[in-house]
Amino acid sequence: MISKVSKIFIGFLFFSSLEAGWLDRKAEGWCWYEDRFAKKEEVEEEDVQEPSLLVPDLKKSSDILAEIKKDLEEKLADAILNPSVENLKAYMDLHKQWVDKSAQFAHNWTYVLLNNPELDNTVNRPVSQYGVQLAKNIEAERTKALISKIASENGLFFFYEGKNKVSQALAKVVDLFVKQYKWELIPVSMDGAIIERFPSCANNRIAETMNVPSFPALYIVDPKTKKAIPIAFGFVTLDQLERNIKVQYQRIKES
């Protein structure tokens, strides 16, 4: 039989557990039951979210274009393998839509270029035969003017080997180049053999000082700064010489 003390102790434990539970719940705040209600509302709101607010899964334009091309190819294949009126008409209908889109694209392309000439590459690089030749002539005049200016301010060093066939061939080009642009030329023979057009000055280890890697070679030298710019190694034509100078000085200008 349970004693009175035991009953009191059990009752005390029961009351303590109730009180502790209530105190713990009290820590949630006086409005703990309102928080539960709010959470329930949030769940319900998520459940009834309107479908129109969802972002649709749209196809990319490139995917649509690929599908149209594939459809056109399929209809063409059907028309070839089974040239019925229906198959031909299906292909021709889709083909006409494609042609109409292409025509609209070309029309708008021209309109954009006319109103935005900075986007038109043909303004500076014409594609017609006459335009191409005209652009070449203009560019050639600019190049010649550039080289004439450089020649008036710099000297030209020609390192050659008189017994070498390549040096002898390049000497003819250099002779024309010097006369056309009025260069002040300093020819230097590396093997002691003299080319008739170019009596050599004393070597004086000029090539070694300038670290010339191979012969024949042509360098433009600034008499003020002593800076040397290579423009040819081995045999080159007059046109190549002009292009090489243009490339070198364009890079100098950019830097």
pLDDT in tens, 6-58: 333 334 333 444 344 433 444 444 333 344 444 444 444 555 454 444 445 57
Q: What are phi and psi of 188, to 5 degrees?
A: -130, 115
CA 121 vs CA 111, 113, 141: distances in Å: 15, 9, 21
- Residue 87's pLDDT band, with cuts at 50, 70 and 90, is very high
Do 143 and 248 belong together in one domain?
A: yes
- Residue 180's pLDDT band, with cuts at 50, 70 and 90, is very high
Please give the residue range of the domain that contains residue 195. 135-252
Cα separation of 46 and 203, whole Å?
92
Instruction: Give the pLDDT of residue 205.
Output: 83
Do 147 and 96 belong together in one domain?
A: no
Burial (CB count <10 Å: 0-12, 13-18, 19+), residue 135: middle
Is 37 within a domain? no
CA 36 vs CA 25, 27, 28, 89: distances in Å: 13, 15, 11, 66
Whether 129 shows a pLDDT value over 90: the answer reads no
Do 143 and 226 belong together in one domain?
A: yes
Is 212 within a domain? yes
What's 84's DSSP letter? Answer: -
Is 223 within a domain? yes
Is 108 within a domain? yes
Do 77 and 167 belong together in one domain?
A: no
- Residue 247's pLDDT band, with cuts at 50, 70 and 90, is very high
Do 143 and 242 belong together in one domain?
A: yes
What's the CATH number where 139 sits? 3.40.30.10
Do 166 and 70 belong together in one domain?
A: no
**pLDDT above 70 as % of the chain:** 76
Do 88 and 157 belong together in one domain?
A: no
Do 162 and 243 belong together in one domain?
A: yes
Is 8 within a domain? no
Run of H or E including 184: strand 184-189
Cα separation of 185 and 198, whole Å?
9
Do 140 and 248 belong together in one domain?
A: yes
Do 241 and 184 belong together in one domain?
A: yes
Do 171 and 204 belong together in one domain?
A: yes
Q: Record the pTM.
A: 0.58
Instruction: Give the pLDDT of residue 97.
Output: 95
Is 66 within a domain? yes
Do 166 and 238 belong together in one domain?
A: yes
Number of domain units in the chain: 2
Is 122 within a domain? no
Residue among 188, 199, 200 at smallest CA distance from 228:
188
Is 38 within a domain? no
